[in-house]
């Protein structure tokens, strides 16, 4: 059985703790590798090395760091198929979906090619008599990224790209369920010119996470995962004086107005609800048709589309729409929530439980499920299922539908399908959600904007990628400079304006 490694000082390093996690093939249910779990001492050694390397990297001018990002992006593009294969092998998502995972990460690296512009400060000439005022952005030092299983390439790239481009060193702790992609990315970063030690990949579980949060050298932590863990990491990081951006769970709604193109809305719900087996924080898990006629017509369109979906291993190629979920525990939890929905009175229109695929009977496959007549008090509505389950909550009016979204604890993404511009504009203005789609089902912003939710979907002031990422990974220093040429002025104890 393959034994995986950490990535320390520009090379693969075997673990020494004697503790391991099993890495599964979700399609077969078999263990395909063992992952070493680092000790706090191993982490401390990696951090010390990163601290030394960061000083030299930070002194490299932004233009040269941008060139490294350019080379890194080219290598990612050249190795797209290899990276997608690694993602699919450990996560189970289809190869086209895995390529999308890599591509959306690559787009952030492309923005990092403009690092010099992102790091520009401000300058005011003659702010007062002989006084110039200017600001500069400087790297924080050593930072950390703790990333989830569902996007093994995209989210590590979202973290490492801006952090490294800004002149920091990064300790990356990928999910122990899908760790190999991070190592492959680290190899490409080295080949692109990232100095040894500037990017370290340390595998581990809660023991390593806590050590990251408590280590005084690490200045900032970025996290993506569930809301309880996001809140825990944010609180512990803040207590230790670190910056933190922590993104949690979601319950994303899509409103379907009576004037919407229902065929387009149904197609959008299929892709947004069932793609990647629903294991996306931006998945649409709640459809909200407005009016009984709209709801009936939508369900009528959804059912045949859902029944045509093909579930199977990624190795089946184009014959598969989505693959397994990540673990047996996730599979069982999804089925348990479906059972609770039935018990609590929802109408299970399509039942995806008990799916068996010939030759893959032990895989973690969940078929697509569709609920109708779901109410906000049901567990399937209140909890993030993170599986291929779409719940339909019928709303009588637009205001009822809007308030359903506003009242929800989560605020990651939402969408509305309508032909009316006034309704769309009102929805975008009033809804308290971080990312909004109009006739667009998964409103993940392009990489030169920024990604982030509201309410219990996010903890921290700054979002991922785009300009916010460079603000997060740098600190601002403001300099007030005075030159005394031609100025005669005695001492003063007064606090006064410069002018």
**Catalytic positions, written as ranges:** 281
Q: Which residues of 62-78 are buried (b: 16+ CB within 10 A; e: fewer)?
A: beebbbbbbbbbebbee
Contact present, 174 and 148 (Cβ < 8 Å): no
Distance CA(68)–CA(164), nearest Å, equals 10
Bridge partners for 137 per DSSP: 476
User: How far is CA 480 from each of CA 94, 134, 477, rounded to the nearest angstrom?
Assistant: 55, 7, 10
| Element at 379 (helix H, strand E) | helix 379-382
Q: How many CB atoms lie within 10 A of CB 319?
A: 10
- Cβ neighbors of 346 (< 8 A, separation 6 or more) are 371, 372, 373, 374, 375, 378, 380, 391
Which tokens in the block code for residue 370? 């569709």
Q: How many CB atoms lie within 10 A of CB 40?
A: 16
Distance CA(437)–CA(421), nearest Å, equals 13
Name the CA radius of gyration of the chain, rounded: 25
Q: Considering Cα of 379, then 382, then 388, then 390, what sign does the dihedral take?
A: positive
| φ and ψ at residue 267, rounded to 5 degrees | -60, -40
Which tokens in the block code for residue 398? 């637009």
Residues in the chain: 499
Distance CA(38)–CA(47), nearest Å, equals 12
The helix/strand/coil state of 32 is strand
- With CA atoms as reference, report the closest residue to 25 among 90, 73, 77: 90
Contact present, 6 and 42 (Cβ < 8 Å): yes
Distance CA(133)–CA(468), nearest Å, equals 24
- With CA atoms as reference, report the closest residue to 178 among 23, 362, 3: 23
- Cβ neighbors of 60 (< 8 A, separation 6 or more) are 167
- With CA atoms as reference, report the closest residue to 249 among 282, 286, 273, 271: 282
Contact present, 279 and 148 (Cβ < 8 Å): no
Contact present, 277 and 150 (Cβ < 8 Å): no
- With CA atoms as reference, report the closest residue to 350 among 335, 370, 367: 370
């Amino acid at each position: 059985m393959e034994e995986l490694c950490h990535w320390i000082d520009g090379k693969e390093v075997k673990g020494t703790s004697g503790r391991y996690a099993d890495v599964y093939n979700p399609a077969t249910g078999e263990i395909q590798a063992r992952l070493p779990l680092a000790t706090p001492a191993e982490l401390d050694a990696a951090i010390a090395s990163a601290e030394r390397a960061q000083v030299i990297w930070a002194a490299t001018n932004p233009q040269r760091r941008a060139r490294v990002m350019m080379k890194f992006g080219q290598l990612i593009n050249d190795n797209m198929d290899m990276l997608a294969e690694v993602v699919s092998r450990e996560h189970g998502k289809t190869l086209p979906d895995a390529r999308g995972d890599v591509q959306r990460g690559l787009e952030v690296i492309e923005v990092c090619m403009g690092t010099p512009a992102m790091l520009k400060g401000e300058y005011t000439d003659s702010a007062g008599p002989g006084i110039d005022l200017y600001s500069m952005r400087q790297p924080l030092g050593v930072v950390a990224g703790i990333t989830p299983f569902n996007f093994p390439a995209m989210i590590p790239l979202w973290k490492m790209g801006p952090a490294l481009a800004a002149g920091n060193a990064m300790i990356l702790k990928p999910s122990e369920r899908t760790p190999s992609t991070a190592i492959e990315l680290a190899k490409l970063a080295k080949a692109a010119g990232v100095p040894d030690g500037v990017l370290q990949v340390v595998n581990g579980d809660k023991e390593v996470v806590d050590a990251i949060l408590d280590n005084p050298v690490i200045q900032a932590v970025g996290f993506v995962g569930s809301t309880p863990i996001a809140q825990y990491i944010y609180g512990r990081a803040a207590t230790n004086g670190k910056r933190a951006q922590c993104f949690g769970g979601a319950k994303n709604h899509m409103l379907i107005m009576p004037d919407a193109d229902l065929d387009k809305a149904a197609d959008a719900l299929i892709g947004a609800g069932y793609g990647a087996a629903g294991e996306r924080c931006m998945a649409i898990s709640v459809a909200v048709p407005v009016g009984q006629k709209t709801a009936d017509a939508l369900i009528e369109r959804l059912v045949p589309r859902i029944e045509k979906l093909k579930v199977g291993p990624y190795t089946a190629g184009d014959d598969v729409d989505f693959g397994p979920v990540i673990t047996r525990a996730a599979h069982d939890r999804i089925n348990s929530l479906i059972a609770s929905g039935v018990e609590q009175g929802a109408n299970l229109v399509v039942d995806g439980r008990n799916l068996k695929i010939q030759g893959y009977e032990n895989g973690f496959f969940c078929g697509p499920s569709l609920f109708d007549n779901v109410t906000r008090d049901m567990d399937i509505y209140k909890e993030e299922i993170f599986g291929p389950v779409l719940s339909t909550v019928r709303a009588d009016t637009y205001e009822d539908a809007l308030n359903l979204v506003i009242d929800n604890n989560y605020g990651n993404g939402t969408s509305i399908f309508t032909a009316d511009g006034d309704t769309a504009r009102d929805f975008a203005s009033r809804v308290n959600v971080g990312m909004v789609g109009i006739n667009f089902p998964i409103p993940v912003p392009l990489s030169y904007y920024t990604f982030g939710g509201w309410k219990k979907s996010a903890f921290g002031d700054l979002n991922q990628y785009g300009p916010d990422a460079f603000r997060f990974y740098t600190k601002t220093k403001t300099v007030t400079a005075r030159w005394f040429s031609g100025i005669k002025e005695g001492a003063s104890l007064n606090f006064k304006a410069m002018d």
